Amino acid sequence: MPSPLEGRKLWIAGIGGAGMSAYAVLARAWGAEVRGWDRTHTTYIDQLSGIDVEISDEPPQPPKGWEAFVSTAFAGRVAGKTRAELLSELVSLRDSIVVAGAHGKTTTSAMIAFCLEQLGRSPAWLIGADVPQLGGNAGTGEGWLVVEGDESDRTIDELRPRIAVVTNVDLDHHATFGSRAEVAELFEGWLGNVPVVVRGEELEPYEGKLAVAGEHNRRNAAAALAALELAGVGRDEAAGVLAEFRGAARRLEHRGTAGNVDVYDDYAHHPAEIAATLEALQHGGRLLVLFQPHLYSRTRHLAHELAGALAAADVVAVTDVYPAREQPVEGVTGKLVVDALADLRPGMLIGWTPSVDEGARFLAGLLRRDDRVVTIGAGDVDRAVGVLLEALR
């Protein structure tokens, strides 16, 4: 039986991203020739064995005769088909489970793939983060294809899986949606085209044994188990395996202990996610946070809500905004969050530390035995982990 992409030549702009790198791995496994470009070398590129990747400040022209697919980050700068078109084709080639939602989709999709893998069901998976127990963000098995979907650019609407999971509905992408109602409308329209649906917000949190902390992960587990049942996996069988799942990279990830201080890292970038992360860490001594706001649009609209979530910590340092795909907006900096937090918690120790390194040094000077410190944000705030651990040693 020929591979489904045999004879195709795919060139991917933004191949070093969490999503596009995974698509590249699967496309190559399914018979395509794959090459790509990115602006910087990422850890995901290290996993693209056998795929030629060019690194340069400016994107080159796609090779003649190759199909070009362009990540959202470079839309408008490089000619080619969209990320969604590539993912839509991959989903159409296999019985698929697509997990979407504002929060928890990475962990939920990883839980599903992990259970299928451990139970010998040979899944393929495309997940927007490394999953250490799965060996990366992409898998190429012969069974179900488990996919983390994305509503940020509305591309979820182009996917047609057999099973759809929506973990929850919330407004997280203010440059795309004007209201939560718009997000809900997108999901409802998409779900109308999928045969079988799991709605996470209608499920009770899972009460069984889990290795990952937090009420939010009990909700993720409930959605994962529901999807697995629909895929033909008995609940008791899946639950026994799920108890061994230890999480995805940058999702409440314990990065080390030094000087009797535990250091964590988390990808949270929305107030609801930050609140869930801090709730899961509320035990024992003081909780210190280094927070990096993500996107100018989100920071402008949610500065007060971000501060409200961070107010659960004992000490907070805030960096400037990580711009990702956005251009700077006048008057929008991390200082908006600092000022809002100072109004909410007068007398709280708050650091306005525009750079990640400044924030790490600020907190390192305050840490003491039995504290917990967590770096939070969807940008590069995790760079501070090494600085903190080194300072504690």
| Amino acid sitting at position 368 | R
Assign residue 284 a region: left if phi > 0, alpha if psi is -120 to 50, beta otherwise?
Answer: left
**DSSP per residue over 64-110, as a string?**
TT-EEEE-GGGBTTB-SEEHHHHHHHHHHTS-EEEEE-SSSHHHHHH
> Residue 42's Cα: distance from chain center in Å?
15
d(CA 211, CA 248): 12
- DSSP conformation class of 206: P
Determine the 3-state secondary structure of 176 from DSSP: coil
What pLDDT, on a 0 to 100 scale, did the predictor assign at position 372? 96
CA distance 378 to 52: 27
Give me the pLDDT at residue 160, please.
Answer: 96
- Confidence at residue 180, expressed as pLDDT on a 0 to 100 scale: 84
User: Would you call 61 helix, strand, or coil by DSSP?
Assistant: coil
Q: How far is CA 185 from CA 92, 154, 169, 190, in A?
A: 23, 11, 10, 9
* Amino acid 173: pLDDT: 76
Series of mean pLDDT values for 10-residue runs along the chain (393 residues):
85 94 96 95 91 94 94 88 94 96 94 98 95 95 95 87 94 79 92 96 97 94 98 97 95 93 95 94 92 96 97 98 92 97 97 97 95 96 95 87
